Structure 1
Amino acid sequence: MLGVYVHIPFCANKCGYCDFHSIVAGSSVIEDYLVALSREIRYWADQLGGRTCSTLYIGGGSPTLLTAEQLSRLIRQLTAEFNFASGFELTVEANPGTLTPAKLEAMAEAGVNRISLGAQAFQNDLLRRIGRTHSVDDIYRGVELIRKYGISNINLDLIEGLPDQKLTDWQAGLEAAAALQPTHFSCYSLILEKGTPFFEEYYRGTLILPDEDEAVGMFEFTQAYLPQLGYHHYEISNYALPGMESRHNLIYWHNQFYLGLGSGAHGYFNRLRAHNPADVFLYTKNWLSGIPAAVSGEYVDRETEMDETMMLGLRLIEGVDEAAFFNRFNVSIKDVYANAVTDLIDRGLLESRDGFLRLTKQGIFLGNLVFSAFLR
């Protein structure tokens, strides 16, 4: 399995919670960036020499800030240069406020078969509070347009624990989202990242967040509600109808290889973890000058690969397949992590069942504590 991730680091504005690499830029900066990106695409296609890729994910930023022509040109180059498997998953992240019929027509004709729509909330006051430029009506219009152009695999991104958000807001929002019948939900808890406006507001005392009980209530409501509608809880923050799990994200959680193309993108290929500079202008300058833009590469040794396989795999509700771990590393989980596994099972945070080592319900709430036990 080899995934391809492409980063489009442009947004109409910067949201208060976001620490992803993105900037607000003019049309000439965006066009120059896309020319540079086309050169990186060609470089990596040559490096792969026809090796089969299984998924393509175009994220941001906001990829749908690009014009219809730019989206078509980018996607068509990617699918022409790389050797993607038959029936591969091709996801584009979309902002409800920047989707248009022309852009969706261009994406559908270029082969996009999955859209991840950044809804985030279903209350206009909450959307304004977090700096989103779209409205709830834009979400409904976006889903209708996506389906109109024949793309049926739709993920809705939602954020729980937002400023001024009540449990009743979350419940009503999730119910409204579910009424749209997407194939997939990503329900993320708000994380205050250093350097974001929300981080600064919180430490000034001007950002009022839900208390712990209310935040837990949001998570528990989601855990109970979505499975009743047929959505399988397959990763801590992700739910899908049967067979509609994100194939690209499963590459990450199974600690498999993926390329990261574009400014600020991270990749993991042939046990080398590398990243491009999180600087649009430096990235563009380098590639337009014929200089590969990766900042650095770090070789991942066998011990680190095992640790990362455990930490990422335990995010999956099914857990880590013990036989697959043995086949990959020729050693069992319990031989490598005997003390950690015994301790976490005794504390009720892990369980071994049907050949998988997985988080218990309590362990899901204390996931970071569990993951850290596998970092040697």
Structure 2
Amino acid sequence: MDNQISLYIHIPFCQSKCYYCDFASYANKNDQMTAYVLALKEEIGRYGVLLQNYEINTIFIGGGTPTVLSPHLLRTILQSLFQNFKINTHAEITIESNPGTLELEKLEVLKECHINRLSMGLQAYQNNLLKDLGRIHTVEEFIQNYLLARSLGFDNINVDLMFSLPNQTLKNWMDTLKNVVLLNPEHISCYSLTIEENTPFGKWEEEGKIKLNDEETDRAMYHYAGWYLSKMGYRQYEISNFSKSGFLSRHNLVYWTYKPYIGIGLGAHSFYNGERYHNTYNLDQYIKAKGDLSTLKEDAEEISLSMQYAEYMFLGLRLLEGISIQKFNEKFKISFEEIFGKKVEKLIKLGLVESNKDIIKLTSKGLDVSNMVFAEFLPENE
């Protein structure tokens, strides 16, 4: 249906910034939380009017760490969403959280305000590695928060994990996966550490202070996750994501299947009416704007058709089921063969993608060099 859309809500606060993080987030800005939530409420109200004919299918509240907000502020945001939008009764509503921030009262507020999916950032099962990452929690706190959430009836929990960390061995990674699987979450995400420039890790790598895993170890960790999680009943449905049957991340599927979404909050990105834009990254400016969409909106660009074709391909190919040629033709009213036929032929010869008559998907070799495959679809003159 064309009248369905998804929402991403950004909460830019953390207790402490992890050494690898380059998201729009701040530690030690607790004094601005209330003003931020009031500005967020205003923006939610404006979008409520703009999207009054739309039904909301998925909501993802990310950050930062949304659960550093007080129970009162969390309730304010969630009630505002329900007051301003037509939210589908079966909508998936996710909130990100870090262990150590999920005490009983907060979890009760989340439950009462219709949060039905928790995404918990664990990253590793060894306290020394968590400390090396600048995480503020211990494994013990994660277990405590996880079991508390379960006892309150949260029955759709994702656990985020990272591999290829400095000082992490393959055995560490195997132990992390084994211990997380014992807790039986519905969904597990496994990301390879990426070093971003403007982060402590970026600086330390440049100074030679941290030693990263080589490509071979990184791939061994990735392949082990695929093999082990599959053996334990988790299906890999996207490059970094594994789920039990019926628990795929519906919100993330919106991104991968090239559907529209609106980002609300500091620096949040939107893809709507063939246009991409994001909100200001300046916290004071965001608060001062009081939800005025024209003041908040930055870098709006209309996406050319050739770029839309490319994005459809490399987002869709992240999914292990691949993309359908027929759906591509229907969406863009154009011949897939004409645009990408030669490129796909080349990638098939290289053993990076495979195709039956309708479906094109990455091979296991293609999964390992997915960025190289995606680059093939980029328009040459843009």
| Shorter-chain TM-score tier | over 0.9
Preserved contact between residue 40 and residue 292 of structure 1 (Cα < 8 Å): no
Task: Give, in angstroms, the shift of residue 139 of structure 1.
Answer: 1.1
2:184 to 173, 181, 188: 181
CA–CA separation in structure 2 for the residues paired with 1:145 and 1:189: 28
Q: Distance in 2 between matches of 1:187 and 1:27?
A: 30
Deviation string for 1:344-373 (max 9, x for gaps)?
000000111362100000000010000000
Residue 42 in 1 paired to residue 42 in 2?
no
Q: In the alignment, which residue of structure 2 is the partner of 1:207? A: 210
Q: Could you tell me whether the CA contact under 8 Å between 1:120 and 1:157 is conserved in 2?
A: yes
TM-score (norm 2): 0.96
Q: Does 1:72 align with 2:75?
A: yes
- Is there any run of 5+ residues in structure 1 with no aligned partner, and where? none
Is 1:370 the counterpart of 2:373? The answer is: yes
- How far is the alpha carbon of 1:211 from its aligned partner? 1.9
- Select the residue among 101, 105, 112 that pairs with 2:104: 101
Structure 1 residue aligned with 2:361, among 358, 368, 371?
358
- Which piece of structure 1 moves more, 347-356 or 261-270? 347-356
What SS does structure 2 have at the residue aligned with 1:164? Answer: coil
SS in 2 for 1:275: strand
What are the within-5 Å matches in structure 2 for residues 247-262 of structure 1? Answer: 247-262=250-265
Identity of aligned pairs, percent?
Answer: 38
Tell me which residue corresponds to 2:174: 171
Alpha-carbon separation, structure 2, partners of 1:149 and 1:264: 33
- Number of residue pairs matched by the alignment: 376
Which of residues 209, 220, 234 in structure 2 aligns to 1:217? Answer: 220
**Aligned amino acid, residue 227 of structure 2:** A
Q: Secondary structure at the match of 2:43?
A: helix
Name the SS for the 2:102 alignment partner: coil
Partner of 1:194: 197
TM-score, reference length from structure 1: 0.98
Q: Encode CA deviations 1:52-104: one digit per residue, 9 max, x unaligned.
A: 11100000000000011111111111122111112100000011111110000
Deviations 1:303-335 (Å, cap 9, x if unpaired)? Answer: 221111001001011111221111101223222
In the TM superposition, residue 176 of structure 1 has moved relative to its aligned partner by 0.4
Partner Cα distance (1:202, 1:222) in 2:
26
- Decide whether aligned partners of structure 1 residues 69 and 332 sit closer, same or farther in structure 2, where only a CA change above 3 A counts: same
1:282 maps to a residue whose letter is Q
Instruction: Give the conservation status (yes or no) of the 8 Å contact 2:186–2:243.
Output: yes
| Matching residue of 2:30 | 27
Q: Which residue of 2 aligns with 1:281?
A: 284
Cross-structure match for 2:137: 134
Q: Equivalents in 1 of 2:214, 2:363: separation in Å? A: 23
CA distance in 1, matches of 2:361, 2:281: 35
Q: Which residue of 1 aligns with 2:327?
A: 324
Cα distance in structure 1, aligned partners of 2:13 and 2:202:
21
Three-state SS of the structure 2 residue aligned to 1:337 is: helix
Whether 1:51 and 2:49 are equivalent positions in the alignment is no
- CA distance in 2 between partners of 1:264 and 1:109 (Å): 28
Match of 1:295, SS state, is strand
CA contact (8 A) 1:52 1:83 kept: yes
Q: For structure 1, which segment, 296-305 or 134-143, has the greater mean C-alpha deviation from structure 2 after superposition? A: 296-305
Pairwise CA distance, 1:28: 2.8
Unmatched 5+ stretches in structure 2: none
Distance 1:338 1:6, change over 3 A: same
The structural deviation recorded for 1:295 is: 1.5
Residue matched to 1:244? 247
The answer to whether the 8 Å contact 2:229/2:242 transfers is yes
Name the SS of the counterpart of 1:90 in structure 2: strand
**Deviation sequence 1:164-208 (CA, Å, 0-9, x none):** 000000000010011110000110000011111101111111111
State the partner residue of 2:92.
89
Q: Which amino acid aligns with 1:4?
A: L
Conserved? CA contact 2:41–2:291, under 8 Å: no
- Equivalents in 1 of 2:50, 2:275: separation in Å? 14
Q: CA deviation at 1:272?
A: 1.1
Task: Note if contact 2:366-2:373 (Cα within 8 Å) is conserved in structure 1.
Answer: yes
